[in-house]
Amino acid sequence: MSKIEHDLRILEALERNPETTQANLAAQLGVAVGSVNWYLKRLIRKGYVKATKMERRRLKYFVTSEGLAVKTRLTSQYMEASLQVYRELRQAARETLSRVREAGYTAVRADGKGEAMEIFRLTCLEEGVDIEKTSPASLPEVETDGTRFVINWPVERRGGLADELQTQLILRVAPAQRIRAMLVQQDTLLSVWRERLRRAHPGLSDLALCQMVFERLSQNG
């Protein structure tokens, strides 16, 4: 998780609940309590957060006007970076499906999990490429490793072009270090928007929620 996201998530959590504890913040961020203490002290030192003592040695945190301004700026930066990752992944998914169609296939196997695979599945819906749940071995299988899409071609397709296909067709979506840093974050833009939609539409399935997110993000890329 980047420093930007740490600061943003702490400021958001304190704005929602000024009486939250460092242990709760640590659980939300997935870091040690000592790390949260360090982040809070830094935010307090910069004037973004103020702390007042409560009973039983507890603290109450207030986000200052400067902190609110910083939170707005960080939110903008985070969403811009997340949208850029989304656009790059979406373009990579389209290129992957283009290769699949060029090879004569109209369906693929795609059993992975994660935000990148969700984008790939939704791009399949948009491009009219079926995803076979029965996973026949005669279809190409698309996987992700967090920074790229990989096509595993069926055995009968190997040969001639085999040396390239045998080693798998890799489509890099962006410099690995930058994308990996974004994708390992639990709160990517997709997750944030999906959670908001889940609260607004509690009866919808995950796939339906993803489709709603996809339709909204399509306006940006």
Torsion, Cα of 95, 97, 101, 102 (10° steps)? 20
Could you say which residues of the chain have pLDDT below 50?
159-188
Measured CA to CA, the distance from residue 102 to residue 104 in angstroms comes to: 5
Give backbone dihedrals phi and psi of 116, rounded to 5 degrees, phi first: -60, -40
Q: How far is CA 110 from CA 114, 127, 150, 159, in A?
A: 11, 15, 10, 23
Encode pLDDT of 111-164 as tens digits.
778 888 999 999 999 999 999 876 667 899 999 876 678 898 887 555 444 334
Measured CA to CA, the distance from residue 116 to residue 207 in angstroms comes to: 14
Mean of the per-residue pLDDT values for the chain?
77
Domains for the chain: give ranges and CATH numbers. 3-63 (1.10.10.10), 80-218 (no CATH)
